[in-house]
Structures are given as structure tokens and as C-alpha cells.
Amino acid sequence: MTGSKQVLQLSISPGGIPKRAVAEAKVTSSGILGDSWANPDIHGGPNQALLLITSEGIDELVAQGFALFYGALGENLTTSGIDRREMRVGQRYRAGEVFLELTKLRVPCSTLNVYPGIQAAIYDPQVKAGDPSSPRWGLSGFYARVLKGGAIRQHDIIALVDQVV
């Protein structure tokens, strides 16, 4: 599947980070069954049901010296083949049976402080202002709402199907 856009890893946890890999999952409007958040008053909810981060972005951070792995930043879907610099709120994707819509850029929280310096590496004033020209754009990931739930498996194709403006 070289060059294809795919879900490289699905990850869940009972709360907090890191999340562990699972081969397949059932996704509902609340997120992946079996996944939870350490602070549900801040995380989760219908507009933050899933967190997507690109494997390429994680690989960039590893190259900068961060001891990361897929799932380490709390993402549910680690994607491959999607350019994080092209990701935008309002984009709709299909992954397996699931249809999802990117709802907002993730603002890093103190949970990520287990990786000293990571917040400055993945988020800056340009990103905060919504400027995709920032070199850090998309490194923190994107939250998504689930438009249609269903099954999703590791290595399922993920495809952009629509852009809401």
C-alpha cells in the first residue's frame, strides 16, 4: 500500500496517554468503543470524538529528539499519506465504514508535559491564529466528529470525501 492514504494505527486507552494499538474498532458518535479520557470535562464529546495525527508528523517530532511512538500523543487514528499541512477544519473523510469531519485543531494540554518541550514543538501563535503556513500546523492533531459510525481497521484506506466551507 505504498503511497496510499491509510489508517496506520488505531489507538485507545482507559484515560490519558499513551493510547495502545488495537487492530480494529467500532466507532460511534461518542468515539471508539473502549476509549476514554482522563478529563472528560475537557476532552471527548461529539465534536472531539476522535483525534487524528499523521504518522509523518510524529516521525518529524521523533527526528527532533522526542521519544514518541504512534499513540503517544493520545491520538485515536494515526494516519499515513495525508499531508498535515493540507488538513483543515470542515474536511470530511471516510475511513473504513466511518465518516468523520474535522472540527478543530487540537490545543495541547498539560497532559503532554510528560514530553518536555513538546508543546512549543507542536503549537505556536501562528497555529493558534489558524494560520496553516506555520511549520507546526497539524502537528498537535485534529479533533473530529463522527458523522456515520461503523467498523474501522488498521490499514483501512482514509480518503477525503468533502470539504465544508
What digits encode the pLDDT tens for the residues 3-21?
A: 689 999 999 999 889 999 9
Longest dimension (CA), the chain: 39
Mean pLDDT of the chain: 93
For residues 37 and 43, the answer to whether their CB atoms sit within 8 Å is yes
**pTM recorded for the entire structure:** 0.94
Contact 140, 74 (CB under 8 A): no
pLDDT at 2 over 60: no
Query: pLDDT tens-digit profile of 99-135?
Result: 999 999 999 988 899 999 999 999 999 999 999 999 9
Q: Indicate the helix (H) or strand (E) that contains 56.
A: helix 55-63
pLDDT at 150: 98
Closest CA to 48 of 158, 165, 140: 140
Per-residue confidence (pLDDT) for residue 39, from 0 to 100: 65
* Residue given cell 521523533 in the structure block: 62
Contact 29, 46 (CB under 8 A): yes
The residue type of 101 is E
pLDDT (0 to 100) of residue 109: 87
Cell of 160: 477525503
CA neighbor of 106 nearest in space, from 92, 85, 89, 86: 89
